Amino acid sequence: MPTQPQLFRDRYERCDWIFDLFAHGFDFLNGRFFPPKLEGHDEDWEREDEDVRKRNLVDLVARADGDIPIELRRYLRIPGADAELEMVEFCLRLYCALNAIDRGVADLNYLAGFARPLPGRWERATEHLELKRRQLQRSASGHVVFRPRDFETAGTTWPARTPASGRWTQLPTRGVNLSDYFRNLLRVEETNDCSVDIRLVSPAQDFEMDPTELRIGIVPLVDALKANPTDALLLPGPLRLVKETDSPPAFGIRVDPPRSIWCT
């Protein structure tokens, strides 16, 4: 459910941190507006993109170091009526402003706390990252974080490699996700009725857990094996969780299709 116009206006007027503005703008547009396809010809989008370039908004965002540049507010020109806030013209303008923020943050990352930032660019934002445990937002609900990059192995990205193996099926895209239009920033909405507890355990370790809690097991793909002549090894292949018949109930890990090899 997108943010209602009056609520967005109130949040915008009280906002003084660039990543809070990104959060409020994203929540207003999400489900209400989606940008035109880049391969298509859209005169309105091209006009707004040219205006952003002439105003130098991307560089101004980076140099403002977390503040909202006055030129960005001049570009947005928030309409006075709620109905005008929902018109395509303003939604496109707001999207282009968010896109300028996304591009302006390209040289800031989680490692900035351990490297010297460029003079006059993202120095206060780097300090904010250190104090707020890697979270970019200041007062907005939910989170604004850096979008994870593709993990690469031997020069090939996982998303492209796994479907090509023939043993995985890529799920079709359903609808349009506004997050896909931003390269550097990711908006994570606030959750009201659940929480995520991430625990890293060794293969031989177990921990007590409330049986009413949802349990999700993440099993890696075996990419390569180093043979140990004294142990039984699974052949490389996709793994799956299997319900065991033991008591108390347990899950085991099997290769699909089940195959095993004993080395002596």
Q: Which residues contact 95 (CB under 8 A, 6 or more apart)?
A: 29, 33, 35, 181
The answer to whether residue 110 scores a pLDDT higher than 70 is no
Structure-token match 């997108």, residue found: 2
Residue predicted with more confidence, 38 or 63: 63
The answer to whether residue 263 scores a pLDDT higher than 50 is no
Indicate the range of 65-79, 111-125, 133-147 predicted with least confidence.
111-125
pLDDT digits (tens, 9 = 90+) for 145-160: 888 765 444 455 555 6
The answer to whether residue 259 scores a pLDDT higher than 60 is no
pLDDT band at 237 (very low <50, low <70, confident <90, very high): low
* pLDDT for residue 151: 47
Integer Cα distance of 201 and 114 in angstroms = 28
Neighbours of 70 (CB within 10 A): 10
Cis ω on the peptide bond leading into residue 257 (within 30° of 0)? yes
- Residue 141 C-beta-side C-alpha neighbours within 13 Å: 8
Residue predicted with more confidence, 125 or 130: 125
Residue 250 to residues 79, 139, 197, 239, 244, Cα–Cα distance (Å): 59, 43, 21, 16, 6
The answer to whether residue 47 scores a pLDDT higher than 70 is yes
Integer Cα distance of 232 and 225 in angstroms = 12
The answer to whether residue 78 scores a pLDDT higher than 60 is yes
* pLDDT for residue 135: 79
Neighbours of 78 (CB within 10 A): 14
Percent of the chain at pLDDT > 70 equals 54
- Classify strands 143-146 and 185-188 as parallel, antiparallel or unpaired: antiparallel
* pLDDT for residue 96: 95
pLDDT digits (tens, 9 = 90+) for 198-215: 555 555 555 555 656 656
Neighbours of 183 (CB within 10 A): 13
* pLDDT for residue 61: 94
Q: If DSSP codes are grouped into helix, strand and coil, which group holds residue 143?
A: strand
Task: Report the phi/psi class of residue 237: left, alpha or beta, with left for phi > 0 and alpha for psi in -120 to 50.
Answer: left
The answer to whether residue 216 scores a pLDDT higher than 70 is no
As a whole number, the mean pLDDT across the chain is 75
Q: If DSSP codes are grouped into helix, strand and coil, which group holds residue 253?
A: strand
Backbone angles phi, psi at 61, to 5 degrees: -60, -45
Integer Cα distance of 23 and 188 in angstroms = 9
Domain spans, the chain: 5-188, 199-264
The answer to whether residue 69 scores a pLDDT higher than 90 is yes
Residue predicted with more confidence, 228 or 140: 140
The answer to whether residue 193 scores a pLDDT higher than 60 is no
pLDDT band at 93 (very low <50, low <70, confident <90, very high): very high
Average pLDDT over residues 233-246: 63
pLDDT band at 234 (very low <50, low <70, confident <90, very high): low
* pLDDT for residue 163: 61
Q: What is the DSSP string of 150-173?
A: PPEETTEEHHHHHHHTSS--PPPP
What separation, in Å, do the N-terminal and C-terminal C-alpha atoms of the chain show? 60
